[in-house]
């Protein structure tokens, strides 16, 4: 938990003060991989010098899991936006933006920091020397945002508990992101001074194929005339424009994506990049011909059409995941009603408690939504859309190891308004929707904790005598990490003046949130429920069904609906080329050497991940020592 708290503080400082890296971009961010790899190096050194003092494998896995659970919380992952959005209304209100006129009478002030100048103005302009930080003005806000977030984590953990046996034993998900730390820590329980992985030449070949490039580029920090090796640079340097009106293609090569997805099956890898190619062609052609769908004045153009059909496919995947697990869920319900016939019939915690936790968490979240101003029907529908997106992403990250799967439609607000329209929404509804769909509430496209939870249960599956401890360690680690990050964000505002802090949460994101609420209220062009858009959504649902049936009935069918469901999301857009490289490499390895060569190749791909993480950490250390005011961005999209 201490590691999780410190990584949040470090990531906030690096992103907002140093500006040398954006460490929270995926569902398994570099922000948490860096301290874990550091622990691996430290523990390997201790094991070589004093084996009796070295941490055991399960202790290292605790560090990995707890760090992952809070890894997407800091900086641009979430809390930067939280600090900027909750503090913005009083300081940024003006006659021009009309916030006072339209918002102040209905804003949920109980959920925001105290409105006084002593709290808010000093937060944005810096606190005078010698004056204490007014923490008391933030306690209420921090309590409520933490409480609802922990409730959402508990809901995710209860769902993971209910489905875990189905995913592990019936569907046999590979959990590549759990295999990575297991491979790195396996040797710490042996008598060898150095774990076998670190004596493997294939591992070090993968490591130095990344690290050597970064060392060369870091040398260029001191010798600017040295040509840069751009092979691993971010997406902005890898853009390919195909034609006017077509989405850009990206030739981004990211070693962690290649390393993690090497354990994914070929069918899904093929689907991820093939459907991205189809998406580029489909969106480009619709844009060029001006194709649109929907009622006059509220028509959806190419990008929105693609989102609608992808969301339909996402919902199908969620429903199909439940359908596939129907026999398991029947057993779960039998345990709830009658009690388990044996200990093996029950879950990580008793299924009765998991179901009660799921219901209680959902009731609390719906109550919090109501407190923001959202009507009860919208509360229930909105939470359902969130859970569908988070559940589907969590399951398929456990299947693929691709940490750049993001929920289509984000938290579901836009999809919800597409079905309901905005004509019948009240001003309070717009306030509630604005807060829930802002980046202040439970992250943005990166989902805090949820993708880590099935892996958390997977890694500690044999700890049968400590199940309650393992279960509750997840929400406890999350709460500690979130509070540490939020408190540090508050401290940075008073110490450095919030208006000087970097990242979007304090530059434009906080203002856009409230401007969006006002615009929705005063906009005369309110929308109506749209049959055309609903039809597009249904077609996406139906196409995903067709792909699934073809895969079930035709053994040779090569495409999985997962690629279609995530065809428009940032992960597919930015990393389709990396996925293509993995698919091509794995296909060649299996064709040339079969399973034997595949198993011998695994250390190379682990080395790619470790080499990249060590490279980013090395660059950050060089910046901290020699370039504290002019950092070099080495990790982004």
DSSP 551-574: HHH-TT----HHHHHTTTSHHHHH
CA 454 to chain centre: 14
Secondary structure class of 239 (helix, strand, coil): strand
Return the closest-CA partner of residue 513 out of 372, 415, 346: 372
CA quadruple 20, 21, 22, 24: dihedral sign: negative
Sorted by sequence, the CB contacts under 8 Å of residue 603 that are 6+ apart come out as: 183, 197, 200, 202, 203, 206
Across the range 70-92, mean pLDDT stands at 91
- Given this model, what pLDDT does residue 17 score? 64
Secondary structure class of 250 (helix, strand, coil): strand
Across the range 358-381, mean pLDDT stands at 97
pLDDT at 560 over 80: yes
- Given this model, what pLDDT does residue 321 score? 98
pLDDT category of residue 420 using cuts at 50, 70 and 90: confident
Region of 410 on the Ramachandran plot (φ > 0 left; ψ -120 to 50 alpha; else beta): left
Return the closest-CA partner of residue 6 out of 93, 78, 67: 67
- Please give the DSSP secondary-structure letter assigned to residue 228: P
- Alpha carbons 276 and 577: distance in angstroms, whole number: 10
- Alpha carbons 1 and 180: distance in angstroms, whole number: 20
pLDDT category of residue 384 using cuts at 50, 70 and 90: very high
Across the range 63-88, mean pLDDT stands at 91
Sorted by sequence, the CB contacts under 8 Å of residue 611 that are 6+ apart come out as: 206, 207, 208, 209, 210, 211, 255
Cα 603 to Cα 260, 291, 459: the distances in Å are 11, 48, 19
221-252: pLDDT as tens digits: 999 999 999 999 989 888 999 899 999 999 99
- Alpha carbons 540 and 591: distance in angstroms, whole number: 34
- Given this model, what pLDDT does residue 624 score? 80
Across the range 572-591, mean pLDDT stands at 97
- Given this model, what pLDDT does residue 344 score? 74
CA quadruple 383, 385, 390, 391: dihedral sign: positive
92-121 CB burial, b ≥16 within 10 A, e <16: bbeeeeebeebbeebbeeebbbbeeeebbe
**φ/ψ (deg, to 5) at 561:** -65, -10
- Given this model, what pLDDT does residue 19 score? 56
Ordered alpha helix ranges (H), 244-375: 255-261, 266-289, 302-324, 326-338, 351-372
CA 160 to chain centre: 16
- Alpha carbons 499 and 120: distance in angstroms, whole number: 11
152-186: pLDDT as tens digits: 999 999 999 999 999 999 999 999 999 999 999 98
- Given this model, what pLDDT does residue 24 score? 87
Three-point CA angle 403, 451, 557, nearest 5°? 60
**φ/ψ (deg, to 5) at 282:** -65, -50
423-455: pLDDT as tens digits: 999 999 999 999 999 999 999 899 999 999 999
Cα 544 to Cα 74, 314, 548, 570: the distances in Å are 35, 8, 6, 20
With contact defined as beta carbons under 8 Å apart, do 321 and 392 qualify?
A: yes
- Please give the DSSP secondary-structure letter assigned to residue 293: B
With contact defined as beta carbons under 8 Å apart, do 478 and 150 qualify?
A: yes
pLDDT category of residue 465 using cuts at 50, 70 and 90: low
User: Does 597 or 419 have the greater pLDDT score?
Assistant: 597
pLDDT at 275 over 60: yes
89-148: pLDDT as tens digits: 999 999 999 999 999 999 999 999 999 989 999 999 999 988 999 999 999 999 999 999
Across the range 556-578, mean pLDDT stands at 95
Across the range 267-295, mean pLDDT stands at 96
Q: Give the mean pLDDT of the chain.
A: 92
Written as six digits, the tokens of 624 are 């901290």
- Alpha carbons 193 and 53: distance in angstroms, whole number: 12
- Given this model, what pLDDT does residue 370 score? 97
- Given this model, what pLDDT does residue 206 score? 98
- Alpha carbons 63 and 67: distance in angstroms, whole number: 6
User: Does 190 or 307 have the greater pLDDT score?
Assistant: 307
pLDDT at 5 over 70: no
Written as six digits, the tokens of 86 are 């909750």
Secondary structure class of 390 (helix, strand, coil): helix
Return the closest-CA partner of residue 606 out of 36, 6, 11: 36
**φ/ψ (deg, to 5) at 91:** -70, -35
Maximum Cα–Cα distance for the chain, whole Å? 74
Across the range 373-400, mean pLDDT stands at 97
Ordered alpha helix ranges (H), 373-466: 376-400, 413-420, 427-436, 452-459
- Given this model, what pLDDT does residue 12 score? 62
- Given this model, what pLDDT does residue 345 score? 75
- Please give the DSSP secondary-structure letter assigned to residue 135: T
Cα 236 to Cα 88, 239, 253, 376, 635: the distances in Å are 31, 6, 12, 43, 12
- Given this model, what pLDDT does residue 52 score? 87
User: Does 637 or 125 have the greater pLDDT score?
Assistant: 125
- Given this model, what pLDDT does residue 10 score? 67
CB atoms within 10 A of CB 241: 9
Q: Which helix (H) or strand (E) holds 244?
A: none
- Given this model, what pLDDT does residue 61 score? 93
With contact defined as beta carbons under 8 Å apart, do 578 and 254 qualify?
A: yes
Sorted by sequence, the CB contacts under 8 Å of residue 105 that are 6+ apart come out as: none
- Alpha carbons 540 and 316: distance in angstroms, whole number: 9
């Amino acid at each position: 938990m201490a590691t999780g708290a410190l990584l949040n503080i470090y990531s906030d400082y690096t992103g907002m003060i140093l500006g040398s890296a954006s460490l929270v971009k995926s569902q398994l961010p570099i922000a948490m991989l860096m301290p874990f790899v550091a622990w691996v190096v430290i523990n390997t050194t201790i094991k070589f010098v004093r084996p009796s003092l070295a941490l055991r494998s399960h202790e290292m896995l605790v560090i990995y899991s707890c760090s992952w659970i809070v890894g997407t919380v800091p900086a641009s992952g979430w809390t930067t936006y939280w600090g900027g959005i909750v503090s913005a209304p009083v300081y940024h209100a003006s006659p021009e933006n009309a916030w006072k006129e339209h918002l102040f009478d209905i804003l949920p002030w109980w959920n925001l920091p105290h409105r006084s100048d002593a709290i808010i103005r000093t937060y944005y302009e810096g606190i005078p020397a010698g004056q204490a930080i007014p923490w008391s003005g933030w306690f209420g806000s921090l309590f409520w945002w933490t409480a609802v977030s922990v409730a959402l984590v508990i809901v995710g953990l209860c769902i993971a508990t209910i489905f875990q046996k189905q995913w592990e034993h019936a569907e046999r998900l590979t959990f590549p992101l759990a295999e990575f730390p297991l491979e790195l820590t396996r040797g710490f329980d042996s008598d060898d001074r150095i774990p076998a992985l670190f004596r493997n030449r294939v591992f070090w070949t993968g490591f130095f194929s990344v690290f050597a490039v970064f060392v060369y580029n870091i040398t260029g920090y001191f010798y600017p005339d040295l040509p840069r090796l751009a092979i691993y640079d971010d997406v902005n340097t890898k853009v390919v424009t195909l034609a006017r009106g077509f989405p850009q293609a990206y030739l981004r090569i990211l070693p962690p994506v290649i390393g993690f997805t090497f354990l994914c099956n070929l069918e899904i890898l093929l689907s991820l990049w093939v459907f991205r190619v189809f998406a580029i062609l489909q969106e480009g052609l619709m844009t060029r011909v001006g194709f649109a769908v929907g009622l006059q004045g509220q028509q959806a153009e190419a990008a929105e059409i693609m989102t609608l059909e992808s969301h339909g496919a996402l919902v199908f995947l969620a429903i199909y995941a439940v359908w596939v697990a129907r026999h398991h869920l029947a057993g779960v319900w039998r345990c709830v009603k009658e009690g388990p016939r044996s200990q093996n019939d029950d879950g990580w915690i008793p299924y009765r408690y998991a179901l009660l936790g799921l219901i209680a968490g959902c009731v609390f979240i719906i109550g919090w939504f109501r407190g923001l101003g959202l009507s009860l029907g919208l509360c229930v529908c909105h939470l359902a859309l969130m859970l569908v997106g988070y559940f589907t992403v969590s399951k398929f990250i456990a299947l693929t190891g691709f940490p750049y799967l993001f929920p289509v439609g984000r938290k579901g607000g836009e999809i919800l308004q597409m079905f309901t329209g905005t004509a019948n929404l009240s001003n309070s509804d717009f306030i509630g929707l604005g807060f829930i769909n802002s980046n202040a509430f439970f992250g943005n496209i990166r989902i805090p904790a949820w993708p880590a939870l099935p892996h958390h249960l997977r890694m500690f599956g044999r700890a049968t005598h400590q199940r309650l401890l393992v279960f509750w360690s997840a929400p406890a680690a999350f709460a500690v990490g979130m509070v540490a990050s939020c408190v540090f964000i508050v401290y940075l505002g008073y110490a450095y003046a919030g208006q000087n802090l970097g990242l979007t949460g304090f530059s434009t994101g906080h203002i856009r949130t409230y401007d969006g609420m006002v615009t929705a209220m005063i906009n005369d062009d309110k929308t109506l429920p749209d049959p055309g858009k609903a039809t597009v959504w249904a077609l996406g649902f139906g196409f995903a069904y067709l792909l699934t049936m073809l895969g079930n009935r035709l053994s040779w069918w090569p495409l999985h609906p997962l690629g279609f469901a995530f065809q428009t999301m940032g992960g597919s857009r930015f990393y389709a080329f990396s996925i293509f490289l993995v698919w091509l490499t794995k296909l060649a390895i299996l064709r040339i050497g079969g399973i034997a060569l595949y198993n011998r190749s695994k250390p190379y791909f682990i080395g790619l991940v470790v080499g990249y993480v060590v490279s980013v950490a090395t660059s950050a250390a060089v910046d901290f020592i020699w370039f504290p005011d002019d950092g070099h961005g080495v990790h982004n999209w």
